[in-house]
Amino acid sequence: MASALVCAMAPAAAQAESRDLEVSAPMVPFIYHYSACLFDNEALPVDDRIAECRTVRDTVKSEADMVFAEWLRRDRPRSDRMFDRALDVLEYEARYAQEKREPVPQSVVAYLDCVGTRLSNDPNFRNGTSLDFPFVDEDCRDAVTDGSVDGRENTLLSRLDFDYRAHRSASGRMPTITYRYGLLAPRRF
């Protein structure tokens, strides 16, 4: 009987550990904001960081629920599952990065927080009109870097940058954005 239970639970664990992270554009500010919390203060054990970030996760989910009502009207059940999975994948990435002793540079954490906060507080985004990533990206990048970044920082910042401007469509469906190997690709470093 125990083996049946293990088999039933295996697919859920495998999903959280899969390497690609798929999200729709309106999810990006929220996953950036949550990941900034998870990867900040990496001197703490990862389970303590996840526990500390639980309120951030709950807040992000609550805010996302209101925003998704405007952006993702037709695909809500699928979008909610995709968003929950994305948050779980971020926690897995934090665990993996700690296990491999690969801290995320503070400039990248600051960038994630800046982009996540600025986009999620943008009135056009909150009311479901538009998501203007290129305008926020440059300001946040300039704020966290002084022009001198090492190779890993540059790779991570480039990975998080996407020239994407989204407008709500009449169909209520948004294309998915795939981050190959996860948001920060911890297995690649």
Taking phi first (over 0 means left), then psi (-120 to 50 degrees means alpha), and beta for anything else, what does residue 162 get?
A: beta
CA 40 – CA 142 distance, rounded (Å):
19
The C-alpha angle 106, 188, 174, rounded to 5 degrees, equals 80
Six-digit token string for 65: 């629920």
Domain assignment present for residue 135? The answer is yes
Domain assignment present for residue 17? The answer is no
- Report the DSSP beta bridge partners of residue 132: 165
Domain assignment present for residue 103? The answer is yes
Q: How many domains does the chain have?
A: 1
Domain assignment present for residue 119? The answer is yes
**Phi and psi at residue 132, in whole multiples of 5°?**
-105, 75
Domain that holds residue 160: 23-188
Under DSSP, is residue 27 helix (H, G, I), strand (E, B) or coil? helix
Tokens 């926690």 belong to which residue?
A: 91
Q: What is the pLDDT along the chain (189 residues), one digit of tens a residue?
A: 444 433 333 344 444 454 678 888 889 999 999 999 999 988 899 999 999 999 999 999 999 998 888 888 777 888 899 999 999 999 999 999 899 888 888 888 998 999 999 999 999 888 888 888 877 877 888 777 766 667 777 778 777 876 777 777 666 567 778 888 778 876 665
